[in-house]
Structure 1
Amino acid sequence: MKISYPRKQGELVDSSEIELLFKWAEQVGIQINPKLQYPVKYPPGYFGMKTQLQIPPSETLITVPNNALLSTQIAKTPELSEIYESHPDLFLDSTSTTSVDYLMITYLLLEFSKGPSSYWYPYLNSLPKNPENLTDWKEIELIELQDSDVVTDVLDRQARYEIWIDTLISVLQKYPEKFGGTINVEKVHWSWKIVSTRAFGKCIPYSSLIPVADLINHDNVLTNYYYGTDDDLPPDLALGFDIRDTDSDSDEDLYEDPEPILLNYQNLHKINFSAYGEQLDEEKTNISKKILSEATIKDANRFVLDMNFSESLSISQITEDPNKRFRMVTGKNERFEGGAEILISYGNYSNRNLLMSYGFANKINKYNYARIKIPLRNLLTEQQWAKMEETYSSEALVAFKIKKSKICDDLLSVLRCLLWDINKDTPMAFFNPTSIENEEIIFQQAISIVRNCLDEFPTTLDEDLGILNAPKSHRHYFALIYRIGVKDCLQSQLSLLRMASLILRKIKSGEEFLDAITSIQQCEEVLNVSNRQKMIEYLSSYLGYLKVTK
């Protein structure tokens, strides 16, 4: 299926800095598709790049030669070797992202001190003057996110970043002659923000700032960027698929205190069977062993899947080659109509990660989720908690990611395992939805959990949508976009759960499975859900196990 991105309303504006950048880019061998225009100003005031004419699938947008990549390798210039070699733990630890950032910041400061004589001057002069991300927000602004976990994480990052920056400044101040005099503290902070918001780190040999390529904004598109020769294929052609064609996110972990506990199948087996005490005879003991064996296998498979997905997000062991170029190419099923804004994907990031790293959020983001935390004690039966309260703290929390377009399998799996009864349920029912009676209880519990999470917000989804018409500032606007996305995921999940519950009632009352699925498609709950056919298809697949027990 071809995806076409339509025209957007944007005004082309003049910029002497960008004109100088593009002249320099041509001189150093950066090739820009002549259809592209920049800067174009879009409402409410951001700048982007657009195409004058249609750009079809697999067309090259921008290529940047190896010598025009401002990389950590270039940052290891002999001009700064005295600093690096005197502090190898700070600058030369190849396994540390901190060392990578220190290298880039120090090199930027060196090149800035050279002024117009710097090779990179036209590029550096074109960079935004006030880049920001979530760590620049004040606490009163962070509260507007209505997410205490994100607030805690950001405040922790702010404290760590201050120490991190102060450490770098204390070192660089020993070498004022390298930077044309006293170190400009504001310029250090600015350099760090440029690196953190604009550097490319995947699919290239070294972390790099890439002139012109960083002018393109982010969205959930399939435009490819890669490092290769004229003969190398883009990833979606070389691999036969695009690694971004999924709704699984690759967000960074949050800092939390306390951290949520992990409930895998083996943990759930321990909790469930602990409540039976000494009541298990030989037959039931064998059932317990069988379930534990299957739980161990499923947990191992889940771990492997997670690892494989993580590794698929980057191409490993890319080596530097002066004959290779950084390339941006439209996806094999993607086209931009004339007048459309050109976009790339920075990664599989939810609005939380976009705000944290880049300082913006998108109204429509398929990687969004609502992250909810539930006290473990609230999930267990009295008998289970009586056996587990010495193992788990009374404050222990369990976290779940709630997506918009599919049932939260993890939440239902936890409830299913905790509800499972050795005296009446089959071993398969510990893992799969095979019992209509059990599923009815599970879905009602899940509905209650999600509804309670929605009720805890100080404003409703509808109220937020109204406030969005008149935000107090651009940060308030993005805070609204963030919390609207979270509540939208919860509201959609609630609708999904209610639909599933309705299907179960119909099946229990005697309707055939497929008839029950079909009959709910016109009910009010379904009609109020966007992309409802996709949800119906997902429910049909998810509840398909019940057909064997009907």
Structure 2
Amino acid sequence: MSIPPELLVTQVTAQRSETFGPIYRALFEGSEELGLDAEAVCQSIDKEALTLTLFYVHERAKGEASFYHPHINVIPPEFTTLLWVSETELDFIQGSPLYYIASTMREAVNDVYDAVVPRLLQVFGDKFAKASSATNRDFLWAYTILDSRAFKLRHPVDGQHGSDASEGALLTTVAPLIDLANHVLTDEEAQLESLGIDPTTGHLRIIVPKHATASKGQPLYLKYNELANWQLLLFYGFAIPNNTFDGVNLMLDIPDEQDNPQMEMRKMLLLNAGEEAGFGLEHTIRLQPDTPILTPELLGSLRLLLAEGDELDGVTVDTLDELFVQPLSKENETRVLITLRQLFENMLEQYPTTIEHDRQQLGKEESMFHRWCLLYMIGQKEILQGAIVTTKAMLERAQ
């Protein structure tokens, strides 16, 4: 399958549109008439996403007059992602990190709509869209297209086919037809594979891999990426049982060391110096075969952050990696493991239901959306429980 560049929808498509181009320029090139602070708006949504969201609202409002009408016409009018569900349904994931992420995104999308669309309708009127075709729900529909159907693809420089695609621009891209393919976990399960943009022709090339079998009437699948269930539920509206890419994301705290600012400064310098090696404040724990749930990067970062007194003596940028494999001291290792145990227990306590309750409900639940929520919640709790068991065992050995 080869999808020509004329059908690929990107920010460049929107900029060059005869009907939307003036709206784009007014929004982002400082039109006094519009009176919008685009830079402030783009603190809640990036410029590329805002451009494409407004472009889809604009093109959908044109109806059959739109060049993209056949493509738009097959996109469902509603979605099953967390941006679309009711507050009651969102409560199904209460206590999880995803609940906060989804709530924040819903609020941000509404705020962007309120800041931008009414002003565009006032200034451009039907040249942008009829008011009845540019409601909050229409804006959400267009935004969800990017979340659920777009890919990051590298395009030839300035659209000049024949240039080296590796040097081209990485653009959010909606590709008609291929956006209909569903996701699978592994390459072996997929009947489709993207070869990216051909630098000679500018076409997006999709093939059926040699290992795949594709029968008439059967759905075709494409591996989007290595996606955890929180990403699938948030952006695509479903979850996968036994998702090997599931993980619990952690954010470590920086200890308050007002009494010893030099120690705090040294820790931050070492943490930044070791960033490429894996030191940092953000980590993910997973339940995977032959892989420790408490990664060396997580343990090494906490050993550094929780160091006291002279425990960092001798630790330099050159010897920093040693923290991945050995404790600074018995006392330091105990602090690290107690901190992790408390972190995991606190995260687990945020959930209003137990894992046993969720497993029972999974067998009874008829709603597919609720089943997907339970799959996500069970996965998170299994990882946290595994981390607690591992941390307690390591703590016993350390003491």
Query: How far, CA to CA, are the matches of 2:242 and 2:229 in structure 1?
Result: 9
More divergent stretch after superposition (167-176 vs 432-441): 432-441
- In the TM superposition, residue 127 of structure 1 has moved relative to its aligned partner by 0.9
Q: Report the Cα offset of residue 464 of structure 1.
A: 1.2
Helix, strand or coil at the partner of 2:220: strand
SS in structure 2 of the partner of residue 135 of structure 1:
coil
* 1:499–1:169 Cα change, 3 Å: same
Asked if 2 retains the 8 angstrom alpha-carbon contact of 1:176 and 1:183, the reply is: no
Q: Distance in 1 between matches of 2:222 and 2:7?
A: 20
- Give how far 1:447 is off: 5.0
Q: CA deviation at 1:212?
A: 0.9
Cα contact 2:81–2:233 (8 A) shared by 1? yes
1:1-400 mapped onto 2 (5 Å cutoff): 62-75=1-14, 76-89=16-29, 98-147=46-95, 149-166=97-114, 167-178=116-127, 181-184=130-133, 185=135, 186-204=137-155, 206-222=171-187, 224-229=193-198, 323-329=201-207, 335-336=212-213, 341-372=219-250, 400=283
Q: Distance in 2 between matches of 1:437 and 1:188?
A: 55
Q: 1:404 aligns with which of 287, 291, 306?
A: 287
Return closer, same or farther for 1:453/1:67 CA change in 2, 3 Å cut-off. closer
| CA 1:494–1:346: 2 relative to 1, 3 Å | same
For the Cα contact (< 8 Å) 1:105–1:188, is it kept in 2?
Answer: yes
Give the deviation of 1:105 after TM superposition: 3.7
**Contact map agreement 1:100 1:207 (CA 8 A) in 2:** yes
* RMSD value, Cα: 4.3
Residues 124 and 375 of structure 1: is their aligned pair in 2 closer, same or farther, counting only changes over 3 Å?
A: closer
- Over residues 3-47 of structure 1, what are the superposed CA-to-partner deviations in whole Å (9 max), with x where a residue is unaligned? xxxxxxxxxxxxxxxxxxxxxxxxxxxxxxxxxxxxxxxxxxxxx
Output aligned runs, 1:481-500, within 5 Å.
481-497=375-391
Q: Which residue of 1 aligns with 2:371?
A: 477
Deviation at 1:132, TM superposition (A): 4.4
Question: Residues of 2 paired with 1:177 and 1:449: CA distance?
Answer: 53
Structure 1's 464 and 324: CA in aligned 2 closer, same or farther, altered over 3 A?
A: same
SS at match of 1:116: helix
Give the Cα–Cα distance (whole angstroms) in 1 for the partners of residues 344 and 212 of structure 2: 38
In 2, Cα distance between the equivalents of 1:180 and 1:498? 60
8 Å CA contact 2:153–2:197 kept in 1: the answer is no
* Residue 495 of structure 1: how far off its partner (Å): 4.9
1:322-369: per-residue Cα shift (whole Å, max 9, x none)? x2321223567x535769753223233322233332333322333321
- C-alpha displacement of 1:413: 2.2
Q: CA deviation at 1:213?
A: 0.2
Shift of 1:473: 3.9
Equivalent residues of 1:142, 1:479 under 8 A apart: no
Tell me, in whole angstroms, the C-alpha distance in 2 between the residues paired with 1:326 and 1:425: 55
Corresponding residue for 1:460? 354
* Conserved 8 A contact 2:183-2:223: yes
Give the superposition deviation at 1:197.
2.3
Measured in 2, the distance between the counterparts of 1:387 and 1:425 equals 15
1:154–1:109 CA distance, 2 compared to 1 (3 A): closer
Q: 1:472 to 1:387 in 2, by over 3 A?
A: farther
Residues 223-259 of structure 1: per-residue CA shift (max 9 Å, x gap): 6423344xxxxxxxxxxxxxxxxxxxxxxxxxxxxxx
**TM-score normalised by structure 1 residue count:** 0.51
Normalising by the residue count of structure 2, what TM-score does the alignment of the two structures yield?
Answer: 0.67
- Aligned residue number for residue 323 of structure 2: 431
Does the C-alpha gap of structure 1 residues 491 and 63 become closer, same or farther in structure 2, counting only changes over 3 Å?
Answer: farther
The answer (yes or no) to whether the contact 1:146–1:483 under 8 Å persists in 2 is no
Give unpaired runs (5+ residues) of structure 2: 32-37, 156-168, 266-280
Shift of 1:214: 0.7
CA distance 1:434–1:112, shift in 2 (3 Å) = closer
Contact 1:133/1:357 (<8 A) preserved: yes
> Could you report, residue by residue, the CA deviation over 1:193-221 in whole angstroms, capped at 9, with x for unpaired residues?
22332222333454332111011112322
Letter in 2 for 1:342: L
Per-residue deviation at 1:130? 0.4
Distance 1:190 1:215 in 2: 16
Task: Quote the Cα distance in structure 1 between the aligned partners of 2:147 and 2:302.
Answer: 40
**Closer, same or farther in 2 for the Cα pair 1:373/1:470, shift >3 Å?**
farther
SS at match of 2:105: helix
CA deviation string 1:473-497 (max 9, x = no partner): 4443332122112112223334555
Greater relative contact order (CA < 8 Å, ≥ 6 in sequence): 1
Instruction: Classify 1:176/1:479 alpha carbon distance in 2 versus 1 (closer, same or farther; 3 Å).
Output: same
Alignment check: 8 A CA contact 1:197 1:358 kept: yes
Residue 154 of structure 1: CA displacement?
A: 3.0
C-alpha spacing 1:496/1:324, structure 2 compared with 1 (3 Å): same
Q: Note closer, same or farther for the CA distance 1:139–1:375 as it changes in structure 2 (3 Å cut).
A: farther
**Which secondary structure does the structure 2 equivalent of 1:468 belong to?**
helix
Change in CA separation of 1:344 and 1:163 when aligned onto 2, cut-off 3 Å = same
What percent identity do the matched residue pairs reach?
20
Q: Aligned partner of 1:151: which letter?
A: Y
Q: Secondary structure at the match of 1:489?
A: helix
Identify the residue that residue 245 of structure 1 maps to in structure 2: none
Cα distance in 2 for partners of 1:163, 1:89 equals 21
Amino acid at match of 1:215: L
The 5-angstrom pairing of residues 434-445 of structure 1 reads: 434=326, 438=330, 441=334, 445=338
Distance 1:450 1:162, change over 3 A: closer
Task: For structure 1, list consecutive stretches of 5 or more residues without a partner in the other structure.
Answer: 1-61, 230-318, 393-397, 509-550
